[in-house]
Structure 1
């Protein structure tokens, strides 16, 4: 993998130049903040038999390319549920927060489910992605449908940089990084992407297998400059979870929340 997005310096995580997002050259990418929150929560609260079933990431303030700190707090630790929070900050103050729900795994109930999300028929990519116009993402992105075309959008994606130097990207962190792409995939239109997301909520029935994650946009609603979008996440074995985002209308090239 290529160089990491962040390096450790005492209690801070210092961003590399490629940690910038598409809205502004001096703005940290929101997907990385979600990844850092997932990393800190997993490092502190993961336990065998406890599954990260939900991660909600609030991205309520843009941040320039400054060192980041992540603090965590345990909210509830019960027999079958554990809830924990993370706060993401720079020297300018708090820029985001996250909440995770971990559920105790057990025996799968019997019987057949009446509603089942089907696996998609898209094969895993067998070659390098084709570069598009505009911002080049610092991850591999295979667009399976035309960008902004009517109908559900589909992509495969793969992270090519470690999040933090000398650390592997875990399946949970990989899912958290990929989930932020729910906003552009579900909110893009014929005029391009005109919404910037304020949050995203990832839910997982299981962790993704392998290093490639697929996303399929399965819903968009908007009115008065406010949007909500929905995607299904897949790995090469089938669907793994969902992600819902909220977003606000944003002029091209302007990175304001």
Structure 2
């Protein structure tokens, strides 16, 4: 299993045609403030923590952006997701095939466009945010299955590179900072990222079951910064903001607030 390799699929071809006929990207929500609003792209990877976007993190991102009066457009890959997980058991549903974009639309009330479109519209946006969830490690990369030898989605890497080159802020939370490490770590000097703790038994008394991702970030060429749920890490030199979110055993309101800190800092840089 891995990132979609582009094999023909009639269902996906029909979806792609339907989206291309719309022309401009659909807005998830538009600012009606008298103040100039920020245009923010949000990249989703499905719907559900074990095989897609972490829903609390994704919704928190959208709510905080809305509260700031941002104009938001959501994007997701038009491809089959790596696999489908029964979230009541944690077991794979081997006969179930789902599409990343179609699943992401559950979060955005249908307003989501193919990720390919974002690659051609980078100049329209002031910032980009990647919520977490295993979809970032399964559908936007192969980190979940291949670890240090992982690949990254062929559109995610150039999108991250273009935003960085244009000095437009990038926000990532939970496991998603691994994407920035893989895409930028070897080419961007002194890139700083966080996934929270670098040990499973954190100094804050929390359990961090995926702390090993901190080591991967370092091996990809970036610097991992230990943070708590009370902060987001701001790499102002590289216009990158990261936050731990559900990398630990946090409560939903704590994740909501932590994602809010990330959004706040992203918009300060925009």
Common fold by TM > 0.5: no
Q: What TM-score, normalized to structure 1?
A: 0.26
Q: Which has the higher strand share?
A: 1
